[in-house]
Amino acid sequence: MAQIKVNHLTFAYETSFHTIFEDVSFTIDTAWKLGFIGRNGKGKTTFLNLLLGKYEYSGSINMDWPCDYFPYFTPEEKMGLTADELMEEWKPNVESWRVMCELPELNADPELLYRPFQTLSYGERTKVMLAVLFSGENDFLLIDEPTNHLDREAREIVKKYLASKKGFILVSHDRDLLDACVDHVLVLNRSTIEVQSGNFSSWWENKSRADACAQAENEKHLKEIGHMKEAMQQSQRWASKNENTKIGFDPVKEHERSISARSYIGAKTKKMEARVKTYEQRMQRNIEQKEGLLNDVEQIRDLKLTPLTHYKERLVEARDVALKYEGDGTSKLVFAGLNMEIKQGERVFLQGTNGCGKSSLIQAILNAAGAGNSSTEDAQNEKRGTHMVIEGKLEVASNLVISYINQDTSRLHGGLRMHAFEHQLDYSLFLAVLKQLDLDSVQFDKRIEEFSEGQKKKVMIATSILTPAHLYIWDEPLNYVDVFSRMQLEKLISEYAPTMLIVEHDVRFREKMATKVIDML
């Protein structure tokens, strides 16, 4: 295919003083399977929109191929239409037969095209839109976080599907997906942009070595600067002391000295001052060499957690539990025959397909603990006029304090100060944790509604880890959260070993953190 050449690109939003891209240049090939990596808020989605021509910018982006973007936007008023009716708006001139050929590769029935789009699950919508996306010819495809909200099975299907394709940019924070699907990476570092052959793991190995070298070189320069500073100060002291002896002397103590020694002392002082000047110049060169060494070093900053210890060993117990929703004369069974327990120090992961009842179980535990929280699924059932019914034994330890992360960010509102007040958080400490999670201070004066999805998640994560609790319940906490923050959370959990109940589809995160996995079939 062809190349996309970016030359001296500079871009900032009109409403912001913060520059997203400043004089950046790089080249990518449209035949690559390109993974796009970077911190939340660094400009990944913004760059995709620049490729689509949505914003004005300075510099140039030279490309000869049209771009198409996933996910397709569908307004609420058109959600009742079928995908077959919507696909012409999504991708003009798309041919239905091509879409039908793609769907079997995604383990999807072509019948999905003829059902109202709003009735499809997240996984079904993703499969349909990906089938439409790859049904064109000569398009360079921009794929923005395709696996968010997908269960393990759907993620595996999407992973295999994308691994068989080429000619795309994939924005994802899922390390397993990036390793399986890409052959090059485009990385937004802290101050530079780089393009490298390989997948996430090969890039991370190279970066870890480069960061270690930068740290070692920085320490070397610091030591050299320190030694030169000491030598320079010593020479300055000698020069000053020597200069002070030029005028006036005690003829008794210094009987061998004459007035003619003054010129000799002056020359000696001048030589010492020249040595000081040389030290200053060498110091400046070392400082200049040191500058920029750590600009791109990724530092996984340490977070702190204050888990509480409960007097009971078993915090949650479920024996032969069935859960259903009833209302308007109907009854919907979500799951039955569930047996599980959560003991102190355990990190229990719930695993299963979308709709198997993971969020419903979380809501049942919150209700039993009197935590007063509401999950996304619970809110949806309130709208439908249904209520939850629990059968069997579901017991939660008395006086259990729970810190909860909801998978839904839509309820976040207002400024950070108001959020901290509502959740009884120390505002200064809250901002400090957000900084440690790499939320830029330019965001602090904005309303949370203006944040990216990843930044909103970080607000929820910071809120949770600042809340002392016996049990931390996190429902899909890592959706939209960058790779580096995921590593940060892995380090936090490993160090403090809190008791947790987690729903999370990131395979690497689950493999590292889980002490127990409950399959909800």
- Phi/psi-derived region of residue 398, left when phi > 0, alpha when psi is between -120 and 50, beta in every other case: beta
Pairing verdict, β 3-12 and 67-70: unpaired
SS3 label, residue 205: helix
Count of Cβ atoms closer than 10 Å to residue 307 Cβ: 20
220 pLDDT higher than 60: yes
Q: How confident is the model at residue 65 (pLDDT cuts 50, 70, 90)?
A: confident
Alpha carbons 400 and 344: distance in angstroms, whole number: 12
Domain 3-204 matches domain 314-519 at the CATH topology level: yes
Report pLDDT digits (tens) over 471-485.
Answer: 999 999 999 999 999
Q: Which fold has domain 314-519?
A: Rossmann fold (3.40.50)
Lowest mean pLDDT among 225-234, 377-386, 400-409: 377-386
76 pLDDT higher than 70: yes
Rg (CA), the chain: 31
The answer to whether 471 touches 342, Cβ cutoff 8 Å, is yes
Does the N-terminal peptide bond of residue 75 adopt cis geometry, omega within 30 degrees of 0?
no
Which tokens belong to 476? Answer: 């899909």
Tell me which CATH code domain 3-204 carries: 3.40.50.300
The torsion angles phi and psi of 103, rounded to 5 degrees, stand at -60, -40
259 pLDDT higher than 60: no
Q: Considering the entire predicted model, what is its pTM?
A: 0.79
Which of the pair, 124 or 288, is modelled with greater confidence? 124
Q: What is the H or E stretch that residue 518 is in?
A: strand 516-519
Give residue 433's pLDDT. 96
If you average pLDDT over residues 439-452, what whole number do you get? 90
Nearest CA to 174 out of 48, 37, 69 is that of 37
Q: List 512's β-bridge partners, or say none.
A: none
Q: How confident is the model at residue 301 (pLDDT cuts 50, 70, 90)?
A: confident
Domain boundaries, the chain: 3-204, 208-290, 314-519
Alpha carbons 310 and 312: distance in angstroms, whole number: 5
Alpha carbons 7 and 27: distance in angstroms, whole number: 9
Which tokens belong to 123? Answer: 């996984």
If you average pLDDT over residues 262-284, what whole number do you get? 66
If you average pLDDT over residues 89-98, what whole number do you get? 92
Alpha carbons 23 and 428: distance in angstroms, whole number: 34
If you average pLDDT over residues 52-75, what whole number do you get? 92
Alpha carbons 87 and 146: distance in angstroms, whole number: 18
